[in-house]
């Protein structure tokens, strides 16, 4: 058989884990509550939004299939433990290890009275898969000698996203837009049948986009204006999104996985010069795609990671602090120049987020114990949305989303876990470059959770929870010194 010996079983486990991570970054870049609305990316637009003939756009089957791969990896991984009991690392507080389980239990209680059973069921299943990834990293991957091999799956998924983003940058976005316009002109797309057309609910097409539409033939321009406003904005956007749901999610993937991928390329081994060249190239492409994604929070988080990286350098304290300060000043200056026009226009996305957060707090105040149900913020937001405010399906804040969806207890449990894990990891001294890179990536994910919804996107959540469990397994974890499975 292909897995007769312990070493072969370990390899199969690591391959399955790597395939699971790679597939997540390739197919599951949508928020989990939208899997039944959006197919895996092809042109980047749902057939329903385009008004094309009805077809099965559900992503449920491949989602359940990759969860089966995760389940098989769990069975194989836990069967390899020398001690069947779940032995926690001595340096990890017990309350921190089991707090995620308490949080999931509260999500199940909230699910029992949800306002939308379908959305909450999808969300709870996703949360359970996140916890599975966490405990897989904590109890299995953190004890394996070749654990870093599994992370190559995430690195390859990142590279695929960057390659796709580069295609978008150098002509792909224009080709997609031209293809939609051709379908409009040939009547293959029927705008009157599309939902939520531009102009409904007081929404208008932005001036800079309207100027581009006005350059089209009058009949074609009229058809474009009948499309959903969300689609029109995406058609004329220059921001990149790769295989993710939207540009800020691509920025989240880059921030989470670029440090890890570079560390893997720079790992010990032959062809050192080639590894340095590849790592340098990957870093340059990754930072370029982060810039082209147009994520303002991503820019600021990247500055925080750069400052944290300087603090890890083997230099004097004053020199490290000086380098970190200089990087922050230069980065903030560039940020101010780049987005000066954005702030002159009123920073609309910032204002919109304050509206989302206010609605989340209002909902949690109205339903403080169990909220409206996991993943149902869009229903609560409709009740608190001010006239003319941008619509949304998620809170753009993973922490406040817990308060709205599952009440203040859900908020406390989740925030206590993420905050406690961050505190424990910040106090550890790590000398393995790969572990340092994992910690930097997790810091970015934690920070982006204040302004985005990475917890609800499998491509972001699964690698983050797995790496969090891996890193919490203990500072004694050494990828190249420990036994196969302790």
Of these ranges, 55-59, 195-199, 235-239, 432-436, the one predicted with the greatest mean pLDDT is 432-436
- The lowest-confidence range among 241-245, 372-376, 412-416 is 241-245
**477 belongs to a structural domain:** no
Joined tokens for residue 45: 């637009």
C-alpha to C-alpha distance for 210 and 485, rounded to whole angstroms? 61
pLDDT band at 329 (very low <50, low <70, confident <90, very high): confident
- The lowest-confidence range among 109-113, 148-152, 335-339 is 335-339
Q: Please determine, for residue 286, whether its predicted confidence score (pLDDT) is greater than 90.
A: yes
Burial string for 16-41 (b: 16+ CB within 10 Å, else e) reads bbbbbbbbbbbbbbbbbbbbbebbeb
pLDDT band at 222 (very low <50, low <70, confident <90, very high): confident
- Quick one: pLDDT at residue 49? 45
Structural domain range at position 401: 6-171+239-294+347-472
Q: Please determine, for residue 161, whether its predicted confidence score (pLDDT) is greater than 50.
A: yes
Q: Are 258 and 282 in contact (CB under 8 A)?
A: yes
Q: What is the pLDDT of residues 245-278, one digit of tens each?
A: 889 999 999 999 999 999 999 986 777 888 889 9
**225 belongs to a structural domain:** no
**43 belongs to a structural domain:** yes
- Quick one: pLDDT at residue 268? 67
Q: Please determine, for residue 39, whether its predicted confidence score (pLDDT) is greater than 50.
A: no
Written in H, E and C, the secondary structure of 179-227 is HHHHHHHCCCCCHHHCCCECCHHHCCCCHHHHHHHCCCCHHHHHHHHCC
Q: What is the pLDDT of residues 52-76, one digit of tens each?
A: 444 445 567 778 788 888 888 888 8
Q: Are 206 and 225 in contact (CB under 8 A)?
A: no
Joined tokens for residue 471: 């890193």
**178 belongs to a structural domain:** no
C-alpha to C-alpha distance for 355 and 249, rounded to whole angstroms? 20
Residues 6 or more apart in contact with residue 65 via CB below 8 angstroms: none
Q: Please determine, for residue 370, whether its predicted confidence score (pLDDT) is greater than 90.
A: yes
pLDDT band at 47 (very low <50, low <70, confident <90, very high): very low
pTM for this model (two decimals): 0.87
- Quick one: pLDDT at residue 226? 80
- Quick one: pLDDT at residue 472? 92
**187 belongs to a structural domain:** no
Total of domains in the chain: 1
C-alpha to C-alpha distance for 357 and 371, rounded to whole angstroms? 14
**176 belongs to a structural domain:** no
User: Which DSSP helix (H) or strand (E) runs through 256?
Assistant: helix 247-265
* Averaged pLDDT for residues 134-162: 89
* Averaged pLDDT for residues 179-186: 81
**323 belongs to a structural domain:** no
Q: What is the pLDDT of residues 101-139, one digit of tens each?
A: 999 999 999 999 999 888 898 899 999 999 999 999 998
pLDDT band at 1 (very low <50, low <70, confident <90, very high): very low
**212 belongs to a structural domain:** no
- Quick one: pLDDT at residue 85? 59
Q: What is the average pLDDT value for the chain, to the nearest integer? A: 82
- Quick one: pLDDT at residue 252? 94
Q: Please determine, for residue 460, whether its predicted confidence score (pLDDT) is greater than 80.
A: yes
- Alpha carbon distances (Å) from 455 to 52, 89, 207, 314, 419: 31, 25, 33, 34, 15
Q: Which residue has the higher pLDDT, 322 or 480?
A: 322
What percent of the chain clears pLDDT 70, i.e. is strictly above it?
84
**Among 424, 468, 87, which residue's Cα sits nearest to residue 256?**
468
β-bridge partners, 228: 197
- Quick one: pLDDT at residue 86? 66
C-alpha to C-alpha distance for 273 and 262, rounded to whole angstroms? 14
Q: How many CA atoms lie within 13 A of 316 on its CB side?
A: 3
CB-count exposure of residue 13 (10 Å: 0-12, 13-18, 19+): buried
* Averaged pLDDT for residues 298-316: 81
- Quick one: pLDDT at residue 198? 46
Q: Please determine, for residue 475, whether its predicted confidence score (pLDDT) is greater than 90.
A: no
């Amino acid at each position: 058989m292909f897995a007769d010996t312990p070493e072969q079983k370990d390899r199969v486990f690591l391959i399955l884990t790597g395939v699971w991570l790679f597939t997540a970054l390739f197919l599951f870049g949508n928020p989990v509550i939208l899997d039944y609305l959006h197919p895996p990316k092809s042109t980047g637009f749902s057939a329903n939004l385009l008004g094309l003939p009805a077809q099965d756009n559900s992503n449920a089957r491949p989602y359940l299939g990759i969860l089966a791969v995760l389940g098989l990896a769990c069975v194989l991984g836990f069967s390899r433990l020398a001690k069947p009991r779940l032995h926690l690392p001595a340096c990890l507080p017990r309350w921190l290890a089991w707090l995620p389980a308490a949080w999931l239990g509260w999500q199940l209680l909230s699910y029992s009275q949800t306002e939308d059973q379908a959305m909450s069921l999808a969300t709870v299943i996703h949360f359970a898969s996140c916890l599975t990834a966490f405990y897989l990293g904590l109890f299995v991957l953190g004890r394996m000698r070749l654990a870093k091999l599994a992370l190559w799956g995430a690195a390859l998924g990142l590279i695929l996203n960057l390659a796709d983003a580069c295609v978008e940058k150098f002509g792909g976005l224009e080709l997609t837009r031209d293809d939609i316009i051709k379908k409009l002109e040939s009547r293959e797309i029927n705008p009157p049948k599309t939902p939520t057309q531009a102009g409904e609910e007081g929404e208008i097409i932005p001036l800079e986009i309207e100027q581009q539409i006005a350059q089209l033939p009058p009949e074609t321009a009229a058809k474009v204006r009948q499309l959903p406003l969300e689609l029109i904005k995406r058609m004329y956007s220059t921001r990149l999104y790769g295989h993710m749901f939207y540009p800020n999610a691509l920025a989240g993937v880059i921030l989470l996985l670029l440090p890890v991928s570079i560390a893997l390329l720079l790992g010990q081994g032959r062809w050192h010069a080639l590894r340095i060249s590849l790592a340098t190239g990957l870093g340059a492409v990754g930072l370029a795609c982060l810039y082209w994604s147009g994520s303002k929070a991503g820019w600021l988080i990247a500055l925080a990671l750069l400052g944290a990286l300087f603090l890890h350098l083997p230099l004097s304290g004053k020199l490290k602090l000086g380098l970190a300060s200089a990087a922050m000043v230069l980065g903030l200056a560039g940020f101010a120049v780049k987005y000066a026009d954005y702030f002159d226009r009123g920073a609309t996305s910032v204002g919109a987020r304050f509206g989302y957060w206010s609605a989340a707090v209002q909902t949690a105040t109205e339903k403080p114990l169990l909220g409206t149900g996991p993943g149902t913020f869009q229903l609560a937001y409709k009740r608190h949305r001010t006239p003319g405010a941008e619509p949304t399906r998620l809170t753009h804040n993973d922490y406040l989303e817990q308060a709205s969806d599952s009440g203040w207890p859900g908020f406390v449990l989740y925030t206590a876990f993420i905050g406690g894990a961050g505190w424990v990891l910040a106090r550890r001294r790590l000398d393995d470059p790969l572990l340092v890179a994992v910690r930097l990536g997790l810091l970015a994910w934690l920070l982006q959770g204040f302004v985005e919804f990475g917890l609800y996107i499998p491509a972001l959540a699964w690698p983050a929870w797995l790496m969090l469990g891996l890193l919490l397994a203990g500072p004694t974890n050494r990828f190249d010194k420990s036994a196969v499975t302790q």
